[in-house]
Structure 1
Amino acid sequence: MRTRESMRTIAERDPGEQVRVAAQWALRPGATDADIEEFFGYGWVSGAALDLESYRMRVADAEVERHRALTRLIAVAAEAEETLKNSADAAKARAEAERAWQDVAKHAEAASKTWLAEQESAAAQAGNWRDIARLSGEDADQLWKSIGESAGANRDSWSAEQAEAARTADFWKRMVEQARDNAARVHG
């Protein structure tokens, strides 16, 4: 049955962990055609919703921590610059202020790279759902057709996440540039 072959591929290769788990459950030893139908009618969509929600929560939580660290690092750099104004040892104070801004740049660069990876992850999901939407329209099997409605919505959601990841990566890239400019300015 072509549907079981497709299910094996989904269970092994789908970019969404929860979708893979739902497909694996539908293919477990002793599973019946009713389990396959349940996957196409409910499991795939619910797994996809969980994958999207999990992604959103994970990246939001991580971004809060990155911004918290950024705020702390900028405060340290600003304090180091303030110390530079009244320091008896200007060379040492200048080096500390420069190093503090370099720490901001390193943090922002790591965040930018993380968001570029998130952009790729969201793009993989969007591409996967684009393909699923296309396949569901081409396949005569009613099971595949049942996923078609949600496939387009999932594609759109992941495309929006991809765009947001790109915007956020750009924010962090600008932070890298700004921190490096500040480090160069302090250096003299």
Structure 2
Amino acid sequence: MYKRILSCALCAAALFSGTIAVPAGSAAETGVHATSVAMTPGEIARWEVLNYAKYSIYSTVKTDAWVALLSEDPEAASIEFLRSPDGGLVYATQRSLNRDEGNKRFLRRLLETHLRAYSPEVYDAANLYLTESASKREQFCHGGGYEAAKARDQRFRADLGEQKRALVEEDRRYVRMLAEQDPGAQVRLAAGYAVRAGSTDDDLTDFFAWGWAQGARLDNESFRERMLRENRQWQQTIARLIVDAEAAEKAARETEGAAGEEARDRAAAAWRKVGADVSPARSKWEEARDFAHRQAETWHAILLAAQQAAQNPNWKALIDPARATETDWTDNRSLAGENVAYWESLLQKALEGEQRIKNPS
């Protein structure tokens, strides 16, 4: 029964690669409704910084974004935060990517994807090295410590023997299906390694014990990082176009006669350009929202299946990671849904701007 639930869920999940069309739904599905968005650089920047504060995968970026939003002048602080090449976003991202911050993020990911009951060596080491010196963290993460802890955990599971005894051929078939059809590239990679030519039962129990959860976490992080990075590019373009359109509209209102008619044409064209550039961003967020929705449904089905098969130690190990991953994708759906509504609101503002020029009061 639980395998049938999982197969149905996977069949419903479409790959989000940028080349596969995903049907768009309505913003109401996420509980987010388009609100009035002021067409000022400060308001646009403030909205984008809120995205980073809520959804960035880097703790340094989230913290600094909240500092900007809670300042006395959040719009000015948000503009400064996003300023390139030396604004707060760049600086916070660089800090997050330095060697020791990366090692800390890796250790926190291990704690979230390796349960102590199934990977005690990795779990305890990750917990320990988060409080150790930077040099000791480096040694564990990149000097062989992590690999040694993984090997000890594999021996621990092999000595217990219950995971391997619980494996059935249907589990192998299902992991092979994941390797080909899972929506997440990192899950596909982990599953493919577990069932590669020459793989052993230890590789398969490793996949259930931690590989599936770690691949899912990396897929979630990749989704957020990619969408926020692309959104940064869209926001930079649209903010510039809005400034140009508002300047063109102001010039049109101040110019009379034949020159005024030409100025109005230029202003209307400028607002049309805003709308044309808003539409692809909105569509991309719609695709992202629908993909996140499908991922949340898939992981909900995996959670139900793992709970139904909780007497099997391999599936029991997946209960907590599946619950956490479903929550991650529900949050991603909120991120995308909020931005669908935001970009839809900007599109409406652009249409209103063009109509003001065509039908002056």
TM-score, length of structure 1 as denominator length: 0.96
Does residue 1:39 correspond to 2:207, yes or no?
yes
Structure 1 residue 60 displacement after superposition: 0.5
Contact 1:37–1:143 at 8 Å: present in 2 too?
Answer: yes
- Equivalent residue in structure 1 for 2:186, among 3, 6, 18: 18
Does residue 1:90 correspond to 2:267, yes or no?
no
- Equivalent residue in structure 1 for 2:282, among 112, 120, 128: 112
Letter matched to residue 64 of structure 1: R
Aligned with 1:89: secondary structure?
Answer: helix
Letter matched to residue 167 of structure 1: E
In the alignment, the residues of structure 2 paired with residue 159 and residue 118 of structure 1 have an alpha-carbon distance, to the nearest angstrom, of: 12
Structure 1 residue 93 displacement after superposition: 0.9
32-41 or 5-14, which deviates more: 5-14
Aligned with 2:317: secondary structure?
Answer: helix
Does residue 1:135 correspond to 2:301, yes or no?
no
Deviations 1:57-108 (A, max 9, x none): 0001011111111111101101211221344611111111001101111112
In the alignment, the residues of structure 1 paired with residue 235 and residue 221 of structure 2 have an alpha-carbon distance, to the nearest angstrom, of: 21
Contact 1:104–1:179 at 8 Å: present in 2 too?
Answer: yes
Aligned with 1:28: secondary structure?
Answer: coil
Letter matched to residue 158 of structure 1: W
Map of 1:101 onto structure 2: 271
Report which of the two has the higher share of helix: 1
5-14 or 50-59, which deviates more: 5-14
Map of 2:316 onto structure 1: 145
Gaps of 5+ in 1: none
Map of 2:325 onto structure 1: 154
In the alignment, the residues of structure 2 paired with residue 89 and residue 99 of structure 1 have an alpha-carbon distance, to the nearest angstrom, of: 15
Contact 1:84–1:97 at 8 Å: present in 2 too?
Answer: yes
Map of 2:219 onto structure 1: 51
In the alignment, the residues of structure 1 paired with residue 263 and residue 212 of structure 2 have an alpha-carbon distance, to the nearest angstrom, of: 59
Q: Cα RMSD (Å) of the superposition?
A: 1.1
In the alignment, the residues of structure 1 paired with residue 190 and residue 259 of structure 2 have an alpha-carbon distance, to the nearest angstrom, of: 64
Deviations 1:103-136 (A, max 9, x none): 1111122211111100011011101110110110
Gaps of 5+ in 2: 1-168
* Number of corresponding residues: 188
Contact 1:15–1:124 at 8 Å: present in 2 too?
Answer: no
Aligned with 2:199: secondary structure?
Answer: coil
Map of 2:101 onto structure 1: none
Map of 1:181 onto structure 2: 352
In the alignment, the residues of structure 2 paired with residue 86 and residue 150 of structure 1 have an alpha-carbon distance, to the nearest angstrom, of: 61
Deviating above 6 A after TM superposition, structure 1's stretches of 4 or more consecutive aligned residues are none
Does residue 1:121 correspond to 2:287, yes or no?
no
Deviations 1:34-71 (A, max 9, x none): 00011111111110110000001000101111111111
In the alignment, the residues of structure 1 paired with residue 181 and residue 304 of structure 2 have an alpha-carbon distance, to the nearest angstrom, of: 18
Letter matched to residue 298 of structure 2: N
Map of 2:177 onto structure 1: 9
In the alignment, the residues of structure 1 paired with residue 351 and residue 176 of structure 2 have an alpha-carbon distance, to the nearest angstrom, of: 49
117-126 or 140-149, which deviates more: 140-149
